[in-house]
Structure 1
Amino acid sequence: MTIVILGSGNVATHIGKAFHALGHQILQVYSRDKANANALASVLNADTVDVVSEITDSADLYLIAVADQAIQQIVDTLPKPVKGIVVHCSGAADINILAHFPLYGVVYPAQSLRKDISTSLKNIPFGIEGANTEISDRLLELMRHISAKSFLCDSEQRLALHIAAVFVNNFSNVLFQTAYNIMQEQNLSFDLLKPIILETAQNVQKHIPKDVQTGPAMRGDTETIKKHLQFLMKNPYWLKIYQQLTEEIIRNKG
């Protein structure tokens, strides 16, 4: 298969390398920043393009792996018609943003990726959506060579997956940072919390999260909660987070 990669960031790098490793021919790598395009193109043995109008119209697949707010600009300037399937990699952008291409779909990796960190894609779920059943099946077959966990979904399911990923990844990480700050204020090492962080992550691999929920809110320990709230009065942001999450734990107890 011949492929054009539009983007040179985290997702473009990982998926581009995966396609290349499978023997697909990467024809071009596009990026507005030519240095970034050159860096990825050199790894993928591809040509560099920094002007969308210079992208070939004869590839089998066009992978748009850019920030959500940049997808529309790519779509508006990509040569039309093109031979192959045009896909984006967003969890939140609707599939219909690509609707004026003859063949289009979505390939969404439900994983936080960084191009400077080597990550195997074989166990990463890829949400696959096509404009029709034939395209969906073609994309699913293609992506299952990269990850057996690739699966079919619609736009609403993909959006739900993206939101849930924000909760478990981005939101949990900012809570780790809040905990880090609390520990730093008391001259305590964040390392003291790493065993419980690891235990929590391991528990949800085998259980429904609410079945392994612990803590004062789960126990109905109002006296401890009051002490915590009093301690947090000095920081209204931390206080509000604690209050809202405590309420959510109590709401989920039933």
Structure 2
Amino acid sequence: MTIVILGSGNIATHIGKAFHALGHQILQVYSRNRANAYALASVLNADAIDTIKEVTDKADLYIIAVTDQAIQHVVDQLPKLLKGIVVHCSGATNINILAHFPLYGVLYPAQSLQKDIVTSLDNIPFAIEGGDSDTADRLLQLMRNISVKSFLCDSEQRLALHIAAVFANNFSNVLFQIAYDILKEQNLSFDLLKPIVLETAQKVQKQIPKDVQTGPATREDAETIQKHLQFLTKTPHWLKIYQQLTEEIIRNKHE
């Protein structure tokens, strides 16, 4: 298969390398920054381009791997009668943004990827959607050569997956940072929490998170909760987060 990669960032790098490793031919890598295009293109044995007008119309697959805000800009500049399948890689962008292409779809990895960190895509879930059932099936079979956990889903399901990933990944990470800052203020190391962080992550690999919830909110330990709130009065934004999460834990307990 011949492929054009539109983008040179995290997802573009990982997907481009994965397809290249499988023997697919990457024809071009596009980036507005030619140096970035060249950096990835040199790894993929592809041509580097910095204007969409240079995009070939001979590829079998066009992968739009840019920020969500830039997808429309790229779509608007691509020829509308491309014979290859045009896909984007966004979790939050509806497939309809590509609807004026003859063949189109979505390849969304439910994983936070960084181009400078080697990551195996073998077991990363890829949410696959196609403009029609034949295209969806073609994309699914293609992506299952990269990840056995690739699966079909529609745009609403993909948006839900993206939101869930934000809660599980982005929001948990900012809570780690709050914990880090609380400890730092008391001259304590975040290393003290690393065992419990790992234990929590390991538990939810096999159990429903609600079933392994612990802590004063689960016990409805009002005395301890009040002590925590008093400690946090000097940082009202943290206090508000603590209150909201405590209320959510108690609500879950009684559902």
**CA–CA separation in structure 2 for the residues paired with 1:148 and 1:85:** 21
Letter in 2 for 1:243: Q
**Which residue of the partner structure matches residue 173 of structure 1?**
173
Range moving further from structure 2, 74-83 or 185-194: 74-83
Provide the secondary structure at the position in 2 that maps to 1:87. Answer: strand
Q: Deviations over 1:65-107 (max 9, x none)?
A: 0000000000000122111000000000000000110000000
**Which residue of the partner structure matches residue 188 of structure 1?**
188
**Which residue of the partner structure matches residue 84 of structure 1?**
84
TM-score, length-normalised on structure 2? Answer: 0.99
Q: CA shift at 1:149, angstroms?
A: 0.1
TM-score, length-normalised on structure 1? Answer: 1.00
Task: Give the conservation status (yes or no) of the 8 Å contact 1:57–1:80.
Answer: no
**Which residue of the partner structure matches residue 201 of structure 2?**
201
Provide the secondary structure at the position in 1 that maps to 2:63. Answer: strand
Q: How many positions carry a matched residue from both structures?
A: 254
Matched, 1:214 2:193: no
Letter in 2 for 1:91: G
Q: Deviations over 1:156-190 (max 9, x none)?
A: 00000000000000000000000000000000000
Provide the secondary structure at the position in 2 that maps to 1:233. Answer: helix
**CA–CA separation in structure 2 for the residues paired with 1:135 and 1:78:** 19
Letter in 2 for 1:14: H
The gaps in structure 2 that reach 5 residues or longer are none
The equivalences for 1:238-253 within 5 A come to 238-253=238-253
**Which residue of the partner structure matches residue 49 of structure 2?**
49
**CA–CA separation in structure 1 for the residues paired with 2:180 and 2:73:** 40
**CA–CA separation in structure 2 for the residues paired with 1:7 and 1:170:** 23
Q: CA shift at 1:44, angstroms?
A: 0.2
**Which residue of the partner structure matches residue 133 of structure 1?**
133
The gaps in structure 1 that reach 5 residues or longer are none
Letter in 2 for 1:242: Y
**CA–CA separation in structure 2 for the residues paired with 1:136 and 1:79:** 22
Provide the secondary structure at the position in 2 that maps to 1:119. Answer: coil
